[in-house]
Structure 1
């Protein structure tokens, strides 16, 4: 259906004009009835992104409409946030104390852990509907119930008709905890965009420009939400935080970190599949081989940065906890207990009960069983194992089912039962020293 719409739009010349920063900004101002975007320097990153959309992403007609909707939403949010700051200056003085950041390679169970920790009423998590609409919709009559969650639920349902395979690899719910890339995306400085689109020039620009501006905005966004909800302990998550570690440490000097580590060969196949599914509604053509090369290169870099971060944070052992994916999925509640114990937090009976209920309702973390093949994305398991070998050995990560491969990339037989027990023992302790 989308392909037919795309061909018809091309014939009629619809939606094929390049998106322009000035026109988008003017439209956002018209919609909100304001012109002050605040202190955020969004024009350059937005211009780079729009050029990449035009020249590299191969957007369909729907992709162009969706991109325009996204950009306008972000710009309208900037205007709205600034309006609220003018009306209530004390928003910017909200204290964000000791947030907990969940980090690791993508597809390592951090989304499940994020939503599990969000069951505790003492924890604050950015919900999907809050990330999309941080304030009630302006067209909503005063006194009516907040419509944001219901609106986002409808939007998600519409998108899932275009990407029906998504729930099997990444459940999408309006009230679920959202990744931080949706926050940093609102100042157009986020790796969110190179997941849903092929935009290599934007990715290069972002790597060079750095992330300090994005994380200043990230904190401001949390201040807005915290002013509305009241104080609490923020639990935040994104694999992409590892690419912005300096900005993260500077913005949140008292932050606490939970790193979850998983077999990178399983990670690569899973993230490649997710990337493919996310791009299909927006792009004329999705190149599996290109996706494979992109996710491998990006996350080899991410793995090196995870090693670097573990060494940097080694001087702060009370603020850092490392978990294995296998121990998390084997006993999620034990992982939660380990986190609370390590950081000196109280796990109340109510929080524990809600966590148990959440786990019981979501066998396998809420995901369907999927079989992904590295070779489908042009990746060789032995070669990838060699590329990730330092990460695997540094964090003592066992294989999850692919053939075991030695340091030279050779297939070897699975470990003996005694060896497996030894590995499991180190995992089930939930925390380990690096």
Structure 2
């Protein structure tokens, strides 16, 4: 296996942080649950975190898993900062919801949900559809911080999202190659699930298998009810029309489709697919690029085993759920078709949606694709993560009777998803 070398900037940042803690310039990260709650109350100047609808259990499982996780100085700092941010956001959200009970009564139109494994082309499809102002979508800064703090003028969440993104891309430029984005770009709603300490975005950054197994088996309903309230809150802050359907996208949804459908009755689903070997190899590469920022002991073979398991689990759940849907609620779109003829794929999708493709929308999608094509992608191989095409096929076939391997398997690729 030949994982990429650790970036020089990452090694520099790892050495710098402990010196800043010792000098008192930055407080050392503290993952004690009680102290995190006290710090959040102090920072927000608020006290009510809202009802305990299982999110505190999720947090306790996460903190226990983090104690066993091999994290470096950056990893401990990011873990502490992200948990503290969620707690502060929960306090602020509860204050707004208590002051404005009409928010929770705000209707939500049935959303359009893009369902696909990591690296199946879901980001590209989301950004193409986000060109259409008949759908609402969240931007990166909104999903990173779903609840605006008190401010006047330009939203400070935009500045902080840009700062965090520049830092992550500085310590590991591989992140930008694997997933180019910006504060104002349409992006998946992982931050809304993190409000309940739920979802694969948390586990994709760290080696925390106990937390992963918890999220695979625990009840997802409280997390998605909170998710829906945060969408209502976002729409209320914007003053947008509640009849506008949200455009939703996250690989996590494949794991929780039954629950998501319960919370959003009438939702329509676009299922993205991709040849399995390239899909798994690219997904493992993305996870490696996130984990290597936060740990000095990232094991590529463990990533291969863990994310092949995750891919198989999600595929099985997605296949079972999709079998229950009428054709009017499910549309299939393949990565290869989008690569070969994205215009034709989009036309077929809009025919299914029964929406016209006007000239202005076509021009916006052309502009986006011209910009997207400048992204050169990143390289990945199954072998770098201890995997083989035969092993991938066996794992996916064992998990889902509906799985059929592609006839165009490949073990290496350069692509963007």
- What TM-score does the superposition give when structure 1 sets the normalisation length? 0.85
CA shift for structure 1 position 134: 2.8
Contact 2:393-2:405 within 8 A present in 1 as well: no
CA shift for structure 1 position 395: 5.9
Q: Deviations over 1:141-177 (max 9, x none)?
A: x3x2333223311221122111211111111311122
CA shift for structure 1 position 7: 6.9
Q: Confirm or deny that 1:362 pairs with 2:372.
A: yes
Higher relative contact order (CA 8 A, sep 6+): 2
CA shift for structure 1 position 336: 2.3
Which residue does 1:383 correspond to in 2?
A: 391
Given candidates 164, 173, 181, the residue that maps to 1:172 is: 181
Contact 2:146-2:234 within 8 A present in 1 as well: yes
Given candidates 331, 355, 359, the residue that maps to 2:341 is: 331
Which residue does 2:16 correspond to in 1?
A: 5
Given candidates 254, 277, 283, the residue that maps to 1:265 is: 277
CA shift for structure 1 position 400: 5.2
Counterparts of 1:215 and 1:21, CA distance in 2 = 23
Counterparts of 1:170 and 1:245, CA distance in 2 = 24
CA spacing shift, 1:392–1:275, aligned 2, 3 Å: farther
Which residue does 2:91 correspond to in 1?
A: 79
- What TM-score does the superposition give when structure 2 sets the normalisation length? 0.88
Which residue does 1:152 correspond to in 2?
A: 161
Contact 2:396-2:403 within 8 A present in 1 as well: no
Counterparts of 2:27 and 2:214, CA distance in 1 = 26
Q: Deviations over 1:187-244 (max 9, x none)?
A: 1021211100010111122222121111111111110111122022211111111111
Contact 2:253-2:260 within 8 A present in 1 as well: yes
Contact 2:397-2:404 within 8 A present in 1 as well: no
CA spacing shift, 1:194–1:257, aligned 2, 3 Å: same
Given candidates 188, 191, 204, the residue that maps to 2:200 is: 191
SS in 2 for 1:258: strand
Question: Over alpha carbons, which structure has the higher Rg?
Answer: 1
Which residue does 2:294 correspond to in 1?
A: 282
Superposition RMSD in Å: 2.4
CA shift for structure 1 position 337: 2.2
SS in 1 for 2:271: strand
Aligned residue-pair number? 395
Q: Confirm or deny that 1:115 pairs with 2:103.
A: no
CA spacing shift, 1:118–1:17, aligned 2, 3 Å: closer
Where does structure 2 lack aligned partners over 5 or more consecutive residues?
A: 1-11, 413-417
Which residue does 1:423 correspond to in 2?
A: none
Which residue does 1:251 correspond to in 2?
A: 263
Counterparts of 2:292 and 2:176, CA distance in 1 = 14
Matches within 5 A, 1:282-321: 282-313=294-325, 316-321=326-331
Contact 2:74-2:293 within 8 A present in 1 as well: yes
Counterparts of 2:77 and 2:30, CA distance in 1 = 11
Structure 1 window deviating more from structure 2 (129-138 vs 317-326): it is: 129-138
Which residue does 2:235 correspond to in 1?
A: 226
Which residue does 1:200 correspond to in 2?
A: 209
Counterparts of 1:332 and 1:270, CA distance in 2 = 21
Counterparts of 1:81 and 1:45, CA distance in 2 = 19
Which residue does 1:48 correspond to in 2?
A: 61
CA shift for structure 1 position 332: 2.2
Structure 1 window deviating more from structure 2 (109-118 vs 347-356): it is: 347-356
Contact 2:288-2:300 within 8 A present in 1 as well: yes
Counterparts of 1:195 and 1:318, CA distance in 2 = 33
